[in-house]
Chain A
Amino acid sequence: MRSPEAAVPLDAPFGPLLAKELREMASGRPLWTMLLMLCPLVGFSFFQAVSLYGETSATALTSPGLASALSPLDGVLVPTFGGFYVAVTLLFPFVAIRVLGNEKESGALRLLIQLPYRPPTLIGAKLVAVFAAWLIASIPALSALAIWEFMGGHLFVAETLNLVLGHLLYGLLVGAIALFAAALTESAATAAIVTLGFTLGSWVIDFAAASQPDLLGWSSRLSLTQTLHTFELGLLSLSLVVGVLAAILGFAALAAIWLPMGATVRIKLVRSLICLVATCLVMVAATQIRWSADATEDRRNSFSLADQQALAHLSDQLTVTVHLAPEDPRYADLRTSVLSKLERVIPRIVIRFAGDQQSVVGSASDESYGEVEYSYGGRSAVSRSTGTEEVLPLLYGLANVPLPVPATGAGDYPGYSLVAAPWIALPWFVGGLPLLVWVAWWRSRRAPAIKYTSSQKEISREHLT
């Protein structure tokens, strides 16, 4: 037997801990159950998406103008990953909670926290296991992309990777919240309620508050699903990525704070407060980052290249005063078509609402309601348009800049029509893939090779030979 040491150094290797976490995750049924449920869920989403895309493509064959509006991102990728999103929202919390909650309920955590690892290392290993679980869970959705390619469908790498990144960040955020909930609560059931409170609460916020003014509307920005929405639009926003990463690390840090049993609640509360403040500061700082990239092939989040170059040279501050209520659909159009694009390209821009308490109903008698005032270099102009065709010439006029000449031919999005038979994917999603999942689950449960039964002499002989 092993002889004692004076003191055990806190530098245990990470490998055994990570291997244990991965084995724990793989040996539990929640992951495999989720995967089995994902197969038909994603399969049905893909089937529906390809069917509708095919019908639209068939129409586009007779009216070529329609073809340029056909984007696989909107038509196939986002709907297919929609099924995955539902599963990550509703089922993935149970997989992530198990990574910690199981040890808490069985008492194994009392052994784990005595091992020579710091709490952040323990939580870090669990977060890696959550990441691995997400990777495994994403197999049905990723396989759908492969089938789409096999069918002859088009995938634009940048927008596809951007969408996958968005889902990854969303999954890790849900996982980090689940770890925090598991560390905070005594039972896995309570942790599940807390986590689902976050994920389902986001849906409630989205539906109820997104179009509301004031604090309610602002709170909709905290919704987890808003995180994903930007990526679904094909926009890679550094501000959003940094903000979500800060939230993930913040929840993981909170989990690490609440993990040790030896610290008093008061100490944990103080540390949690410091962690919250630090996370909020990073998230607020992240909102100041303006860099973003349009990952879409059709450049839907940008003006034309000529306009982008011309607008990027406007060095003065552009002030946009909007006489619209935030919940007004015209504002949503203006935001999507003009304002968000201007924010990305003009170096100094301020966008504000004209009144603090404007609402669609209350402002009906206001004659200026619906106007958008653009001020640049001491000059102002007013427009009621929500489209670029009227707004951009107006801006060029304010800045005394000639209208840019659009490049001919370059950058035109051709559109990708495809009339495919979606049923060929069904055998994979309801037969092949579930069978592979079952085989993988069965293999993960196999007993290991036994190496500790040999006597000392036998082991010595094995080592010497």
Chain B
Amino acid sequence: MLMRSRMPDKAQIATPPASGVALRVDALTKRYGPQTALADVAFTVEAGEVLGLIGPNGAGKTTLLEAVAGVLPADSGTIFWHGAPLPPALRRRSIFYLPDGLRPWRDQYVERVLAFFAGVYRTSDLDVADTVRAVGLAPVLNKRVLALSKGYARRLMLALALITPHPLLLMDEPFDGFDLRQTREIMDVLRKVAAQGRSLVLAIHQLLDADRICDRFVLLAEGHVRGVGTLGDLRERAGILSGGLEEVFLALT
């Protein structure tokens, strides 16, 4: 029997450039009645970078991710993909959004949930096995989703995202439920994913975690962008000569 191809030929041909602006969010606004959840939010995501979406609880991080992914209708604003407007109905062609706290298809076995995603995206068994090993999901493949611990449920969600071929992954609190060692392992995995050319936007409330993995940051507070850039850029904007992300965050929000 011949060995199956590791990835489709079209994927090899159509791999996006590893540099340049992949996603541009322009003047994105979302209101819930009189309350403005997002106000003229604007930022860019480079190809192959890890962008951290930082903000306190209620800052609008999840709303922003969902609006960018197209699973929540925005009131105004435009999303550009490699310079061209990307309407909500077509976002799922380029963007995959991993919500926080999901435990999907609870009655199914982990193996079958992975097989479902692999079948949908025509991902090879080799790639799925690689992903399973990378996120440490092997011990629970024959368990039902409802029986998973919080950490393994999170690993399953990560595995599903990594099985997809989307060039941009939006992840809401990807390290929630992991201890320090596990968080570092998953960070390594995500760095490798970014090194392959994928862009990652991570909504993180643990600033230390964000500081460790993200290339750049978007500081969000009360639906407004307070700053965008590297830690150095943000220090400069905050007028702080030294200090970590926590100090910058407190100064700008």
A binds B: yes
Binding site for B on A (CB under 8 A): 1-10, 12-13, 15-17, 19-20, 23-24, 27-28, 103, 106-108, 110-111, 113-117, 261-264, 447-448, 450-456, 459-460, 463-465
Known: A261-B72, A262-B71, A453-B132. A111 touches B119 (CB 8 A): no
State whether B73 touches A455 (Cβ < 8 A): no
Top 3 nearest A-B pairs (CB, nearest first) are A16-B119, A108-B104, A6-B14
State whether B120 touches A453 (Cβ < 8 A): no
State whether A107 touches B104 (Cβ < 8 A): yes
Q: Which residues does chain A contribute within 8 Å of B126, judged by CB atoms?
A: 456, 459-460
State whether B102 touches A108 (Cβ < 8 A): yes
> What is the CB-to-nearest-CB distance from B68 to chain A, in angstroms, rounded to a whole number?
11
Q: Which residues does chain B contribute within 8 Å of A103, judged by CB atoms?
A: 104-105
Contact of B166 among A8, A15, A456 (CB under 8 A): A8
Interface 0/1 of B119-161, CB less than 8 Å to A: 1111111111111111000100110000000000000000010
> What is the CB-to-nearest-CB distance from A8 to chain B, in angstroms, rounded to a whole number?
5
The size bracket of the interface on B is 35 or more
- Pair count A-B, CB < 8 A: 186
State whether B112 touches A23 (Cβ < 8 A): yes
- 29 inter-chain pairs at a CB distance below 8 angstroms, sorted by A residue, are A1-B127, A1-B193, A2-B127, A3-B165, A4-B11, A4-B15, A4-B167, A5-B166, A8-B121, A9-B93, A10-B92, A12-B122, A13-B122, A16-B116, A19-B119, A20-B116, A23-B108, A24-B107, A24-B108, A27-B108, A106-B105, A107-B103, A111-B104, A111-B160, A448-B115, A451-B115, A459-B129, A463-B1, A464-B1
Contact of A452 among B96, B103, B114, B165 (CB under 8 A): B114
Say yes or no for B206: interface residue by CB 8 A criterion.
no
> What is the CB-to-nearest-CB distance from B163 to chain A, in angstroms, rounded to a whole number?
6
Closest-by-CB residue of B relative to A108 is: B104
Say yes or no for B164: interface residue by CB 8 A criterion.
yes
> What is the CB-to-nearest-CB distance from B75 to chain A, in angstroms, rounded to a whole number?
9
Known: A15-B119, A108-B102, A465-B1. A2 touches B163 (CB 8 A): yes
State whether B94 touches A7 (Cβ < 8 A): yes
Contact of A8 among B92, B101, B142 (CB under 8 A): B92
A16 CA / B122 CA spacing, docked (Å): 10
Known: A24-B107, A114-B71, A114-B92. A460 touches B101 (CB 8 A): no
State whether A262 touches B72 (Cβ < 8 A): yes
Q: Which residues does chain B contribute within 8 Å of A465, judged by CB atoms?
A: 1
Closest-by-CB residue of A relative to B48 is: A4
Say yes or no for B192: interface residue by CB 8 A criterion.
yes
Q: Which residues does chain B contribute within 8 Å of A107, judged by CB atoms?
A: 99, 101-104
Known: A3-B197, A452-B111, A453-B138. A10 touches B93 (CB 8 A): yes
Contact of B102 among A8, A111, A116, A463 (CB under 8 A): A111
Contact of A1 among B4, B105, B142, B192 (CB under 8 A): B192
